[in-house]
Every structure is written in C-alpha cells, then in structure tokens.
Structure 1
Amino acid sequence: MTKPIQVVDLFAGPGGLGEGFSSVKGADGSRQFRTLVSVEKDSAAHRTLTLRAFYRLLQDSGIGMSAYHDYLQGGCHPSEREATVHLWKQAEEEALQLELGGEKGNHALEERLQARLQHERDWVLIGGPPCQAYSVVGRVRNRGVKDYRPEDDNRHFLYREYLDVIARYRPSVFVMENVRGMLSSRVGKERIFGQILEDLHDPTRATGHEGPSTLSRREDGYTIFSLEDPSVYFPKEQGLFTAVPLEEDEYHAFVVKAEDHGIPQARHRVILVGVRNDIVSRAGGSSGLAELLHMPKLGKDEQLPVRKVLDELPPLRSGLSRDDSDEAWYATTKRVAERVASELLEHPSDHIAQNDLQRIADKLRDIAKTPLPGLARRHEPRAETRPVRPTSELERWYHGSLPQDSRGLWYNHEARSHMEEDLARYLYCATFARVMKRSPIGTRDIYLDYLAPRHVNWRTGKFADRFKVVLEGQPSKTVTSHISKDGHYFIHYDPKQCRSLTVREAARLQTFPDDYYFEGNRTEQYTQVGNAVPPLLARNIALKVREILEYNQRMAMRA
C-alpha cells in the first residue's frame, strides 16, 4: 500500500473540505488522503473538527465505533475512555484552534508543519479563507459603516495567510474555496480577483519567500485550473510561466455550481485548483497539457431534489416560544390555519387567482382538521433495524459508519421554537408553496395584514422577501450561516410540521453524513453548517486531485 497523500486544511470550519478528501479510499479500503493538520479559530467549529478527526482515527483503528456513538448519546467523552484516550490525543494534535494572521497563530502552525509535513512527498493544501469582505451581503453591510475603507479591512487579505503557506512549503496541489462575490470585490478601483490569481501563480513574487531548492524559479509557481471549463486556466498556454491576464468575463469559469454535481443545493462558489508548475511541465507538450487541463473537470450529475434527502428524516413539530406543549402547539396551529384560510377568502389578492386562494385555504383547513399526529420537538437518536439496507451510493454516503442494517441515529435534529405570528407565516408559506409549486414572493404573495411582520421595513422592499420555503421538488437555495439567526429563509416544505429546517436537515442539504456531529449550541451548529463546503462535492474534487497526482507519478516514472 502506498502512503496516503498528505493534506493540510486551513480555515477549516467544521471540516467539510477535509471530510471529502478523507473519504476517498483505495481498492483495499485504505485512505488515499490523510489530514496532518487542520486549523480553525472558532471554538465550537474546532471541537467539531477534533471530534471528526477522532472519528476517523477510531474508524481506522479497527476497535469499533461504539466509543463515538456512545458519546453522542450521552456517554462519557472519548478522552475519558482508557481504550480511546490515545486516539483523542492524536486528534488534538491534528486539529488546531489557531487564529491565523497574528504572530502567535502563524508561529504555532509553522511549528506543526515543520514537525509533521514530509516535504519530499506529495501533499495538498485545502481551505477557504474567511469571506465576509468578499460577499455581496457583506459589502452592502460595509457600505453602512462610517468611514469604511476596503483597503483597511484585513478580511480582504486573509487569503495571504493561505498564500504564505503555499509560498513557504509549495504543495503539489492546492484547493481554495470562497464566495462568488470574490469575483467582483474591489479594493480601490481594482478587482481583487485578478491580483489573487497573480499571487497564487507566483507566490515568490507575491510574498518574497523562495520555494524549496529542489524547484527552479520557473517551476515553483502554479497554474490555476477551472473545475468547470478546461479552456480557462491561468496563466494562459502561450504564457504558461508568465502571467497573462484572463478576461474578466472568464472569471466565472472558476465558479462551481454545486447543484450540477449531485449536491441537493444551489450553492455557487469560487473554487481554484492550483497545480505546481513542475507537475504541469512534466505533462510535456500541448497534448500532455490538454490531457492535464481536462483532469480537474467535474462531471455533471442529475440535479437532486430536496425531498430525496430530507423525506427520510423523522418529522418534527416546531415549538412555541411561550408555554410550549404538544397540546398547545396543535391548538395554536389549528387556530392560525383556520384564521389565515378565512382571511384569504375574505380579502382577495391582486396577484393570486381566486381559485388558487381557494386551494390554499382548503389545504389550510385540511391541516387544521387532520394534523400530523405524534410529532415531537426533538428526535431522540436510537438504533433501529433498517428494512432495506442502503443500496445507492448516495444512501451509503449519508449512512456513514452506522451498521448496514441500522438506521435512526440522526443527531442534531431538533426544531426551533417560534412566536405564534411566525407559525402563521410558516404555515401559510409552506402551504402556498405546496399548492403553487413555488415559494411566495414577499409582500406580493404574503399580503394579509395578519401575516405582516411588525417590521418598519416590511413594505419598503428592504426585507420584503425574507420568508422562503425550501421547495421539495428542486435543489435547495444556498444554505448560509444566516440560518443561525432565524429560520425565515429556510421554511420546511411540509406545512403540517410548520417550522424551519433543523441543523441535521441543513447538514443533509450540505451532504454531511448522518453520523457527522456538530458540537456547540444550536446557533453555533447552524453557523458551522452554513459556512462549510459540501463534503460530497469536496470528495468529487479530491478524486480529481488524486487523478492529477497519479498522472504526475506516471509521467515521472517515464522520464
């Protein structure tokens, strides 16, 4: 068995990218990538990252997974078990809680890389520098800050910490992920993305750090590849080792649309794959380069509707913010369903046909008459016998480490509590979506005074589109960290459950396996899920990276 490819994961969040790489196994079941170091500053995300590192070490140890699942169901922590304490210590050595950009954090990372990274072997750097300053929403928010200057916002330049690791240690391949807003973000009058491409192409010039002495100045830079379009790479072929700027309309070739690659979510992110130039040059000639250019290209998959990944989860009811009980919740939803149904028919809409209003009202009254019985607020994980074992690749992916004949161990699956007014809006919006096959559009469709939030901006347009249903028949909208603040933009499609998505449902839309546990309180869990890279997408990228490195090894053997 060949040694696994080394991975360093910076700005790792809860570990979505690392999970995808770690999941790739060879014919003998051995991991093809092994994470040496992962770095995250947020304490809750770091605890999740450490726990998942332990999970993999435990899985590879052959001693069984009971220590992991016992902990998730209230048992003692793995660090307190004599049989697993050594694995927990290894996990702590892998997952570091550091804030990069300062002397202390950078020094700690450098010490760890010097101790663990074998420079003479292939290794891959992965990660997504924090993106608030690049996001469109973040830029709008920044414009409201007095005396805000992009040039002074360090978040614009956190990618330089990532770049610094590239410059000092020269990975064989790097994978960098960020929000789509990076393409249009500017510092002064200049688009920052073109500068990022130039810096990543020539890290020595960008940072002043020389690469390893084994690489010539010509070979220690990088060619940046698109995962979507083989004809777009930086720099262009005619100037392979001299930066030739791309046209700005070519930048979008670096945007990966997750829904086109088997992910049940319309998540569009910039993902750059950089291959070190000694590997590119080893391809040899235009025909070899053409072959290499096509290797990173992700294959297209059929779009995956939300219900395909959420219908299996146990249904839950939302909670009431005050005096919650099963009886009170059912009484409240019945009352608001009947009131909304009556008001819809009493107050016609300028935008919704009367027969459609009748259909929505009939559905609401049906819900009031025949609610879904026995709903709980929280799923209690318990092993249950699965009548049919997972058969598809997707089912096996979500099933994770659970025994093949079991099910029912869904963690982080608990519904939020809501005010009665929000229950009315959720109930109406989900019913509207089920009848109309689309989510309601702001005040045009949520037009009743009874459903209007007590918000001064509701009818101005600024917050008029804040209630959205996750439609069951198509990929979800992008799951973002905003889901931690409220559930208005992520209303469950089943009106009888009358709620927003749980952490586990959001995690399934992100393609985290069901045994992937998120530490921290519920707000922190939502934030982690929203900030993550979908692990299944990361796995697809990892397979492409492995193909590139295997190709390089074949070319080296022929030389």
Structure 2
Amino acid sequence: MTKQIQVVDLFAGPGGLGEGFNSLRRTDGSRHFRTLVSIEKDAAAHRTLTLRAFYRLLQDSDHGTSAYFDYLQGGEHPSKREDVQHLWKEAQQEAMQLELGTGEGNNALEARLQASLRDDSDWVLIGGPPCQAYSVVGRVRNLGVKGYRAEEDNRHFLYREYLDVIARHRPAVFVMENVRGMLTSRVGEKRIFGQILEDLHDPTTATGQKGPAAMAEREDGYTIFSIEDESVYFPLEYGLFTPVPLDEEKYDMFIVKAEDHGIPQARHRVILVGVRNDIVSRAGAPAMARQLHMARTENKDKVTVRDVLADLPPLRSGLSRNDSDDAWYGSIKRVAARVANDLLIHKSEHLQEQDRTAIAEELLEIAREPREGLKRQHEPLAKPRPVAPTSELEQWYHGDHNRNEKGLWYNHYARSHMEEDLARYLYCATFANIMGRSPLGSKEIYLDSLAPKHANWTTGKFADRFKVVLSGQPSKTITSHISKDGHYFIHYDPFQCRSLTVREAARLQTFPDDYYFEGNRTEQYVQVGNAVPPMLARKIAEKVMEVLQLEQMQTKAMQA
C-alpha cells in the first residue's frame, strides 16, 4: 500500500481543514492523508479535535464505530473503554493542546515533529493562524484601545510560528487560511500581506533557519498559488533570484468565495497554497497553477440554506424565564398578534402598505395556528432518518452512518430568548419571507414595540443587528459572533421563531452530521464559527493530491 501522506495541522480549531484532508480515502478505504499532529490551544476545541481523531481511528480499525456513537448518546467515554483505550491514546497523541508562540508550546511541537515527521517524504502543512489582528472588526476594536500599536501586537506575527515549521521541515505543500482583512492589514505604513508572501516564498531568509539535512539537495523556497485564478501566483516569474512583487490589486485573487464551490455559505477567506520549488520546477509554475485552479459552481447550482437545513427536525426556541411548551406557544400567539395589529395601525415611510399588510396577515396566521408539537431539542433516536442520500452534499452530511440507522442530529438544541426578542424574530423572519431580504435596521424594524433598548438604535449603528439567514440563497458568513446572542442568525422559518442551533450552523459550515462539538453551547458556537468548511477543505485536498500524485509519477520517471 502507498504510504499515507502526513499532515501537520496548526491552529486547528475544531478541525475543519483536517477533516477535509482526512476524508479522502482510497478504494480500499484507507486514507490518502493522515494527520500526524494537530495543534489547538482552546480546551473545548481541543476536546472536539481529539474526539474526531478517535472517530477516524475507529473507522480505520476493525472495532466499528459504536464506541463513538455510544458516547454521543450518553454512554461511557472512550477513554474508559478497555477495548478502544489504545485508539483513544493514539488520538491524544495526534491532537495536542498547545499555545504556539510560547516557548513551551513551540518546543513540544518541535519534539513531536522531530520524533515522527518523515522529513524525507512529501508531507503537507495546513492551518489558519489566528485572525483577530487582521479582521476588520478586530482592527476597529483595536482603534479604541488606548496606546494600541499594531507593530507590538503579537497576533500580527503568529503566522511566523507557521512559517518556522515550513523553514525547519520543508513540507511539499502548505495550505494557509485567513480572513480577507489580512490583505489590507498594515503594520506601520506597510501592508503586511506583501511581507507574508515574501516570507513564505523564502522561509530560509525570513527565519534564518535551514531545512533538514535530508532536503539539502532540493531547491529552496516556495511558489504561492491562488486556487481561484490560475494567472496569479508569487513570484510572478519562476526562477528569478529577486521575487517579482504582485500588484496590490491582484491580492483579491487569493480570496476564495466558498459559495462558488458548492458550500451553502458566502464565506470569503484568503487561502494560499504554497508548493516547494523543486516540485514546481518539474511541472512549471503556469502548469501547476492550472492544476491547482478550482472550477467554480454556476450561479444556478449554488447551494442554498433551505437545501441543507430543511430536513433537520424543526425546533421551537425557549423562553428565558419559566420555559415550557405551553408558555412558549402562549408567548408566540401573543406577540404575533400584537405585532400584526401594530403593523396594520402604524404606517411606515419605508414599507409600502401592501407589504405591511402581507406581513401582518402572515403573523396573524401564526397567532391563530402555530405549528404544533415543536420541542426545543431533537431526540437523536426519535424517528428514522431519511435514507439513501443522493447528492454529493447529502452523502457528505450523512457520513458513514448505516443507511437504515435512525436519526442522528447532535448539537441540535435551541436557545432561549426573551419575549421581546421573540417578537423581533417573528417580525424579521416573516418580513424576509415576504420581501426576500432582511429588514433594514430601525427604518424597517420601525415599530416602537420592536425597538431594542439602545439609545442609538435609530442612528444607524445597529442597522445590521437583526438579520435573517435567508432560505433561498447561500448563508451569510457563519462567524464566532453567533455565540453572543443569535440576533444576526435568525432562522428563516417564523413558526420556529429562533436563532440557528449549533448543528444548523455546522451544516452551513458543511460539517458532517456525525461531527460532534464538545464544550458548552457558547464554546460550540465559537468552534463552528472559527472553522474552515470541511467540504471546501476536501476540495482543496483533492487538488493537493493531484499535485503530489503528479510529483510521484515524475519522480519515478526520472528514476527509471
């Protein structure tokens, strides 16, 4: 059997990038890629990472996966089961809780790589250095910090921990993901992205570190490719001693738009794919750029929110106080009727009368006949799961479940909301159903009974505070902010009157339904929001695999 390609995953979060790479399997069921080590500092995300590593090891073994699913349904933790303890210990070796950028964390990672990484073989480095210093929101927040200096913010330079691993161990390919704000972030007067490209192109000069002895005869440095545009890579002309810089207007070509690649979410992120130059030189940079280019999905074929959420069990939200089924239904009837009557009485400068009337009529229908039998939490074994998924995405969500197995939707539990928010959610979701978009702040959420208690609600600063995840198009970006209150992620179905559950957010991120998130609900939301969509990662992994397979063929031909 061909050796599995080792993967090192830094700043792994709950494991979205790693899941995509590890999901590629040969016809005999073995993995093409196998994570040697994944690094994450957050405790809850690390537990998720470890559990998923354990699940993959079960899949590779002859033990079956019952130890995993038994635990998810309240059974014994895998670490306590004698039959699979050895696999749990192996998962713990794979998923390490370390903080990179500290002496202790860096030394522990280096020791692990020195012990187990096959430097003389092709391997892949993946990861997304923390983005708080690059994100637009983070930069605005930093402006309010007295004495803040970007050049003193270590978060700007955590990519150097990623770079150091490249310099010391020379992967065949690296994949680095970050927010699009990285392209415009500055330290002093200089855009940091240009420096990042130069550093990744020549890690020896950037770090002063040479690669392993086994790599001494291989060409130094990397060419960094866009997977969105085959004409964009750095340096522009391969083989020049001095890199030809990219025009800054070309930087946007490194942004990958997830919705253009079959992902049900408008998530736009910078993704860099670096290939070691001894590999590039054999194929030529233009040919390799064409090979790495990912074809885009036609607009008519883009996956919508409804496509991926409609088959999940509907849930009701909870009440922040004295929650019960009867109390919730009473609140829904009360607020729906009140908002409807207010709409019929109070005119708006920004809504036409027929639209106000249509929204009011739908709310009155909800008040008269709310959907019966909704619960706050899905019981995993409550009813048979739909069988025989047909589309690629349905099969991806379905995972390795037996086709006749009963329904398994974990982390699918609705939040509690104040009655005032129930009124806003009802109005916003109904508005979106009628108008095909979310209402625009206080202009269209204009009723006094719906106005939040913010002194500057009418100034426009909170225009985007309440947003519906629209059913007929890809979702807006799922971010870690979903952990705060859910106002920006209102479910499109007004009868459910709630924000998205962790499982729904995970589906929009394309995590398989058997992917379980550890931690409390807030920690689960943060993990999902910070992740790379695993199905997008799989598509990138397929391209990386093509590059490495071509390299193996060329190497064999040279040796023949």
Matches within 5 A, 1:409-428: 409-428=408-427
| Offset, 1:558 | 2.2
| Offset, 1:441 | 1.1
Counterpart for residue 139 of structure 1: 139
| Offset, 1:216 | 5.5
8 A Cα contact 2:119 2:214, kept in partner: no
Count of aligned positions: 555
8 A Cα contact 1:457 1:464, kept in partner: no
Whole-angstrom CA distance in 2 between matches of 1:216 and 1:77: 46
| Offset, 1:464 | 2.5
Whole-angstrom CA distance in 2 between matches of 1:551 and 1:174: 17
8 A Cα contact 1:255 1:269, kept in partner: yes
Query: SS at the partner of 2:141?
Result: helix
Whole-angstrom CA distance in 1 between matches of 2:87 and 2:387: 33
Identify if the C-alpha distance between structure 1 residues 350 and 197 changes in structure 2 by more than 3 Å, giving closer, same or farther: same
Whole-angstrom CA distance in 2 between matches of 1:123 and 1:45: 24
Counterpart for residue 540 of structure 2: 541
Whole-angstrom CA distance in 2 between matches of 1:53 and 1:401: 15
8 A Cα contact 2:227 2:289, kept in partner: no
Query: SS at the partner of 2:273?
Result: strand
Whole-angstrom CA distance in 2 between matches of 1:28 and 1:510: 28
Counterpart for residue 86 of structure 1: 86
8 A Cα contact 1:443 1:465, kept in partner: no
AA matched with 1:366: E
8 A Cα contact 2:385 2:408, kept in partner: no
Counterpart for residue 230 of structure 2: 230
Matched, 1:370 2:369: yes
Counterpart for residue 459 of structure 2: 460
Counterpart for residue 267 of structure 1: 267
| Offset, 1:175 | 0.2
Counterpart for residue 299 of structure 1: 295
Percent identity, please.
Answer: 73
Whole-angstrom CA distance in 1 between matches of 2:2 and 2:217: 30
1:235-276 per-position Cα deviation (integer Å, ceiling 9, x unaligned): 012554531110000001100000000000000000000000
Counterpart for residue 506 of structure 1: 505
8 A Cα contact 1:383 1:406, kept in partner: no
Counterpart for residue 277 of structure 2: 277
Matches within 5 A, 1:164-243: 164-215=164-215, 219-237=219-237, 239-243=239-243
Counterpart for residue 63 of structure 1: 63
AA matched with 1:331: G
Deviation larger for 215-224 or 181-190: 215-224
Whole-angstrom CA distance in 2 between matches of 1:330 and 1:292: 59
Identify if the C-alpha distance between structure 1 residues 217 and 442 changes in structure 2 by more than 3 Å, giving closer, same or farther: farther
Query: SS at the partner of 2:19?
Result: helix
| Offset, 1:530 | 0.1
RMSD over aligned CA atoms reads 1.2
| Offset, 1:290 | 2.6
1:491-526 per-position Cα deviation (integer Å, ceiling 9, x unaligned): 000000000000000000000000000000000000
**Unaligned regions of 5+ residues in structure 1, if any?**
none
| Offset, 1:458 | 1.2
8 A Cα contact 2:222 2:276, kept in partner: yes
| Offset, 1:211 | 1.8
AA matched with 1:432: F
Whole-angstrom CA distance in 2 between matches of 1:72 and 1:214: 44
Deviation larger for 36-45 or 374-383: 374-383
Whole-angstrom CA distance in 2 between matches of 1:499 and 1:420: 11
8 A Cα contact 2:378 2:413, kept in partner: yes
Counterpart for residue 310 of structure 1: 309
Matched, 1:402 2:432: no
Identify if the C-alpha distance between structure 1 residues 240 and 212 changes in structure 2 by more than 3 Å, giving closer, same or farther: farther
AA matched with 2:149: R
8 A Cα contact 1:282 1:556, kept in partner: no
1:415-452 per-position Cα deviation (integer Å, ceiling 9, x unaligned): 00001100000000000000111111111110111100
| Offset, 1:117 | 0.5
Query: SS at the partner of 2:174?
Result: strand
Whole-angstrom CA distance in 1 between matches of 2:548 and 2:369: 58
Query: SS at the partner of 2:211?
Result: coil
Matches within 5 A, 1:35-74: 35-74=35-74
1:118-166 per-position Cα deviation (integer Å, ceiling 9, x unaligned): 1111100000000000000000000001011101100000000000000
Query: SS at the partner of 1:295?
Result: helix
8 A Cα contact 1:320 1:420, kept in partner: yes
Query: SS at the partner of 2:472?
Result: coil
| Offset, 1:555 | 1.5
Identify if the C-alpha distance between structure 1 residues 526 and 349 changes in structure 2 by more than 3 Å, giving closer, same or farther: same
| Offset, 1:44 | 0.1
Identify if the C-alpha distance between structure 1 residues 11 and 550 changes in structure 2 by more than 3 Å, giving closer, same or farther: same
AA matched with 1:212: P
Whole-angstrom CA distance in 2 between matches of 1:509 and 1:428: 23
Identify if the C-alpha distance between structure 1 residues 551 and 130 changes in structure 2 by more than 3 Å, giving closer, same or farther: same
8 A Cα contact 2:227 2:256, kept in partner: yes
Counterpart for residue 353 of structure 1: 352
| Offset, 1:219 | 1.6
Whole-angstrom CA distance in 2 between matches of 1:387 and 1:425: 33
Whole-angstrom CA distance in 1 between matches of 2:93 and 2:277: 32
Whole-angstrom CA distance in 2 between matches of 1:431 and 1:10: 43
Whole-angstrom CA distance in 1 between matches of 2:248 and 2:422: 45
Whole-angstrom CA distance in 1 between matches of 2:264 and 2:241: 39
Whole-angstrom CA distance in 2 between matches of 1:470 and 1:165: 39
Counterpart for residue 32 of structure 2: 32
Whole-angstrom CA distance in 1 between matches of 2:33 and 2:161: 23
| Offset, 1:30 | 1.4
Deviation larger for 47-56 or 343-352: 343-352
1:347-379 per-position Cα deviation (integer Å, ceiling 9, x unaligned): 111111100100000000000111110000111
Whole-angstrom CA distance in 1 between matches of 2:49 and 2:175: 19
8 A Cα contact 1:215 1:278, kept in partner: no
Deviation larger for 388-397 or 4-13: 388-397
Whole-angstrom CA distance in 2 between matches of 1:291 and 1:194: 24
**Unaligned regions of 5+ residues in structure 2, if any?**
none
8 A Cα contact 2:120 2:214, kept in partner: no
Matches within 5 A, 1:308-347: 308-347=307-346
| Offset, 1:62 | 2.2
| Offset, 1:463 | 1.7
Counterpart for residue 443 of structure 1: 442
8 A Cα contact 1:20 1:540, kept in partner: yes
Counterpart for residue 483 of structure 2: 484
1:316-354 per-position Cα deviation (integer Å, ceiling 9, x unaligned): 000000011111100101100011001111111111110
AA matched with 1:310: L
Query: SS at the partner of 2:459?
Result: coil
Identify if the C-alpha distance between structure 1 residues 256 and 407 changes in structure 2 by more than 3 Å, giving closer, same or farther: farther
Whole-angstrom CA distance in 1 between matches of 2:112 and 2:401: 33
Whole-angstrom CA distance in 2 between matches of 1:391 and 1:62: 27
| Offset, 1:27 | 2.3
Deviation larger for 215-224 or 159-168: 215-224
Whole-angstrom CA distance in 1 between matches of 2:216 and 2:115: 25
8 A Cα contact 1:134 1:179, kept in partner: yes
AA matched with 1:219: E
Counterpart for residue 76 of structure 1: 76
Give the TM-score taking structure 1 as reference length: 0.98
Deviation larger for 435-444 or 257-266: 435-444
Identify if the C-alpha distance between structure 1 residues 373 and 84 changes in structure 2 by more than 3 Å, giving closer, same or farther: same
8 A Cα contact 1:225 1:232, kept in partner: yes
Query: SS at the partner of 2:292?
Result: coil
Deviation larger for 68-77 or 450-459: 450-459
